[in-house]
Structure formats: C-alpha cells, structure tokens
Amino acid sequence: MSHAEALCTARGVRLTPLRRRVLELVQSRTEAVKAYDLLAQLSTEDHAAKPPTVYRALDFLLEQGLIHRVDSLNAFVGCNHPDTPHAAHLLLCARCGRVEELHSDAVDAAIAKAVAATGFVARHARLEVQGLCAACAAATQDN
C-alpha cells in the first residue's frame, strides 16, 4: 500500500481513505471482485459508500494503473506492477476463479506488430485467457 501511496503522491493525486480501502479490498483477493461485492464489504465497515462513490474510486484506481478491469467478469483485480503503463494480460482460472497477470514482452510485441499491420490505431489492449491455473490443472490431472 505504501507503494501505491508513493505513486499517487509522485503523480500529484490523492489516495483518499475510501480509494485506499477499495484498493486494499481488491488487492486482498486472488480472484476478481465485482463493484457490488466491494460495496457490500464497505457497508459492513461503517463506510457511507454508495454505488457512485465506489465506481468513482474504481475509476480513479484504473486511471492510476493500480487495478485492472476484467471485462468478461465485469470485475477488478490488483495490478502487479503499477509503476509503468502496460497492457493487461490476464489469466483467468475457470475452476477456482484465480486471476494472474501475465508479463510478456513477446506477447506485447506480437500484438503490437499484428495491430500495426492492419493500420488500426490501438488506444489500449487487454487480453483475457480463460483456462485452468497451474494448481487446478495439476489437480485435474491427479484425478
């Protein structure tokens, strides 16, 4: 959390108590979390959070690169390296719900090359790969 605070300070933006708590809740899970699940958690913690407030906090965290949106689940996960802007490549386990962030220069380069060849101008890219995490794949093979 201190790293997120330092990034926000360096960028001249505020990590308010609510934004901080939303980030903590997102980062505390290995699976993606939906906005209304965050809202339910916050309401049990004596926060006066309403849906627009939570969505504004999520928008802020997305803008700062501290979390990623998992489009196929309409949910959010923490970012492993928010220091630099990057495309999100997410591995989604269909069995346990775990979401892992994949870092691969080769994947980034291949996508950039393929997109450039079409003449398309990309604003951002997000790749979601659905399957089984290593633990679930191993458990499936053991059965």
Confidence at 28, pLDDT banded by 50, 70, 90: very high
Across all residues in the chain, what is the average pLDDT?
Answer: 91
Domains defined for the chain, CATH in brackets: 2-142 (1.10.10.10)
Nearest to 103 by CA among 115, 87, 92, 114: 87
Ranges 45-49, 56-60, 92-96: which has the least confidence:
45-49
Confidence at 143, pLDDT banded by 50, 70, 90: low
Instruction: Note the pLDDT tens digit of each residue in 60-107.
Output: 999 999 999 999 999 999 998 898 888 889 999 999 999 999 988 899
Q: Cα torsion for 44, 47, 53, 56, to the nearest 10°?
A: -90
